[in-house]
Amino acid sequence: MISVIQRSVRYGSRHFSVSTPRKNPRLIVEETEGVRRITLADPKTRNSLSLEMLEALHSAVVKTDPALRCIVLEAEGKVFSAGHNLKELTQKEGKGHHNRVFDACADLMLGLANLRVPVVAKVDGVATAAGCQLVASCDIVIATHNSSFSTPGGNVGIFCSTPGIPLVRCVPRKVSAHMLLTGLPITADEALRAGLVSKVVPQEELDAETQKVVDAILNKSSPVITLGKRFMYRQMEMSIEEAYREGSCVMVHNINMKDGQEGINSFIQKRKPNWTHEKD
């Protein structure tokens, strides 16, 4: 496990506790006013997803905090993440270790999807193999024109089977087949057209655009966003008939939540809503 140290950071008149890793792989976690920023900070390994890094990421993502409203995932250096550390996948490590690596990876990706709050990936660089998988597993992806995405595992004899799981759920079949079967990268603009990323901006606008997205999330009711995210993913596996049946029930429940009624009343009264952020 990665040992962490706690430090107090001042933002305006408030102090917040920040967890920072003591040793590699470096993972920086900062949480302020409901936003948890997780930074892959191990550029020497191209932010590779070693077993230790995967476990640390999972712990940082699923850490319980009632005040949490949004997670931002970013990386230091020119590579967002190069995927698994191939040094951990040799015969020397053994199948037991290999199983632990891919189990930890699955736990992380599923944890992102099942998290009650939105996860925003802030990408400024290369995302390959499991690094591309990590991007595809996030709810919203803001990328710069410098970014590219690929699943080139076949080039080294390891087909990107698990990276393909979220990828094929994000992009059309012909695009995912092209990426997985050839290993060729796609640009940020191509990723935007395919649906892998949400928006592409110049590098100098990345911080502002990410903050714009975060602010839009923070301006909404937390339990309403949780309800919406969970149904959004759940209905994807349903028939359209079942989705409408379930969706109607979700809408009725949403309307009768405290914040649902507050939103309706604030609209009628032409005022800003005063969210309770309380679960019903």
- Residue 92's pLDDT is 87
Domain with 28 in it: 4-218
Kindly tell me if the per-residue pLDDT of 240 is higher than 70.
yes
Domain annotation covers residue 158: yes
| 166 and 55 together in one domain | yes
How many domains would you assign to the chain? 2
Task: Express each pLDDT in 165-175 by its tens digit.
Answer: 999 999 999 99
Prior bond to 166 cis, omega within 30? Answer: no
Stated as kind and residue range, the H or E segment containing 7 is: strand 4-11
Mean pLDDT of the chain: 91
| 226 and 213 together in one domain | no
- Residue 31's pLDDT is 95
Instruction: State the Cα–Cα distance between residues 127 and 244, nearest whole angstrom.
Output: 36
| 23 and 125 together in one domain | yes
Measured between alpha carbons, how far apart are the two ends of the chain, in Å? 37
| 166 and 248 together in one domain | no
Number of CB atoms found within 10 A of residue 186's CB: 22
- Residue 194's pLDDT is 98
Task: Express each pLDDT in 2-15 by its tens digit.
Answer: 444 333 343 333 33
**Residue 150 carries which DSSP code?**
E
Q: What is the 3-state secondary structure (H, E, C) of 64-132?
A: CCCCCCEEEEEECCCEEECCCCHHHHCCCCHHHHHHHHHHHHHHHHHHHHHCCCCEEEEECCEEECHHH
| 207 and 226 together in one domain | no
Domain annotation covers residue 94: yes
Long-range CB contact pairs, 225-229, < 8 A, 24+: 225/69, 225/117, 225/118, 226/116, 226/117, 227/253, 227/254, 227/257, 228/254, 229/116, 229/117, 229/118, 229/139
Domain annotation covers residue 75: yes
Lowest mean pLDDT among 84-88, 120-124, 135-139, 226-230: 84-88
| 116 and 181 together in one domain | yes
- Residue 181's pLDDT is 98
Lowest mean pLDDT among 85-94, 163-172, 265-274: 85-94
Domain annotation covers residue 109: yes
* pTM score of the predicted model: 0.89
